[in-house]
Every structure is written in C-alpha cells, then in structure tokens.
Amino acid sequence: MQRKTLHAIARFLFRYLSHVEVIGLENVPPKGGLILAANHLGRLDAPLVFAMVERDDVTALVADKYIHNPFFNWMINGVHGIWINRETADFRALRVARDYLQQGGALGVAPEGTRSHTCALIRAKTGVAYLADKAGVPVVPVGITGTEKAVSTLFGLSRPRIQIRFGKPFCLQPSERHARGSSLEQNTDEIMCRIAALLPSDYRGVYANHPRLQELLRY
C-alpha cells in the first residue's frame, strides 16, 4: 500500500507542479527484469522515473548517504530501494540488486554514480554494465532534462519544464572472461551513448564525440 500511495503522490506532484513531457514510455516492458539507466541531474531524477513508469515493481539503487535522513529513509524503504555505498565496490548491494532483477523486478540506476554539476554527462562507472551482465537482463536508456533547475524554478513560483525520454531496451554483449575489464568499459560506453542519444547536444558531455554515439545518431 505504501508503494502505491507514494507512486500516486509522486505522479500527482510532478503533473501538478511541473510541465512533464514523457516520450517513449511504450519502450518500457510491462514485466520482466530490466535496468532503467538514466543520466543524473538532481534529486528529482529517481522520483521522476518512479512516478512515470507504469509498473508496480520499480525501485532503485540509492546512495547510502541519505540513509540517516528520516524522510528519505522512509520513502526509499517504502519502495524497497537498495542502499549502496558508492565510495566502494559494494558487492553486497550489487548481489541484492542482481537477485531483484533475476526475480523480474525493474531497477533504476544512474551509471554516472553521482550528479553532474554541469548537466552534461560525466564519465560513468562500470557497475551498471557489471550488474546487467550478472543478472542477464536488458537495459532501457533514459534521458532526463529539466530536473537540474526544477526546484529553483518552483521557488520562483513557476512550473519547471521537465522531459523524460525512454529509449528502446537493448541487451549488452556478454563480458569476456579473459578481457573482463575492457568488456565492461565497452558495455558502459554503450549504455552511456544510448542515453546520450536521447539528450540534447549540450547534455552529452564526455560522450559527445564518441564514435558509437555518432553511429546511433545516424539512425
């Protein structure tokens, strides 16, 4: 009940307090394990994905720096969020996330691991590629714009414009045991270039000139 209540509240607030444009929601499979991999601009990103995806099993990997905040703790635990220490290789959290995905759940993750203070994509970590490989689930790229200035716009008594765009699900190449590091880096670049292809050019950051992105943009 708490999950359904939080979902209804989050969706109402986004719809009432902002102008939200949702594109490509039909690309999100209605069931089965999957990773929703999104760029990270601010604290509203995860609630936005949670509110707009029409599944009752969406949760997220959340930095454990928020675990002592009573409000965030209540909200994240209410949607069965998975706390992760982003300062280390938190294999416990990754195992929990893998199991959740293999049981058919949908998991929101920010491959960059932290907010971009320039709004443009920063170099991602390999954790999401590792998780997708271990769980054997597809990835749905998600491009978000507008959340970086949404709160300040609201304080200015205006409704911010936010866009969330869902790309088509795709599966990564299995990592090669003899070259695991390079395989994870290549798969991470694939995820990030798919996200970058959903974003305006000034949001693409370090992936703007990546050959794979240029290939994706030609189609």
Residue 119 sits in a domain whose CATH number is 3.40.1130.10
Q: So what's the pLDDT on residue 122?
A: 97
16-36: string of b/e by CB count within 10 Å (b at 16+)? eebebeeebeeebeeeebbbb
Number of helices (H), then strands (E), belonging to the chain: the values are: 8, 7
CA 55 to chain centre: 15
- Output the CA angle 56-87-184, nearest 5 degrees: 70
**Mode of pairing for the β-strands spanning 139-145 and 161-166:** antiparallel
Q: So what's the pLDDT on residue 204?
A: 98
Q: So what's the pLDDT on residue 38?
A: 98
Type and span of the H or E element at 38? strand 34-38
Residue showing tokens 């932290």: 114
Domain that holds residue 128: 2-217
Count of domains for the chain: 1
Q: So what's the pLDDT on residue 76?
A: 86
CA-CA distance, 212 to 207, in Å (whole number)? Answer: 9
Residue ranges for the chain with pLDDT beneath 70: 1
pTM of the predicted model, to two decimals? 0.94
Chain segment 50-69, per-residue pLDDT in tens: 999 999 999 999 888 888 88
Chain segment 2-18, per-residue pLDDT in tens: 788 888 899 999 999 99
Q: So what's the pLDDT on residue 200?
A: 97
Q: So what's the pLDDT on residue 161?
A: 95
Q: So what's the pLDDT on residue 86?
A: 78
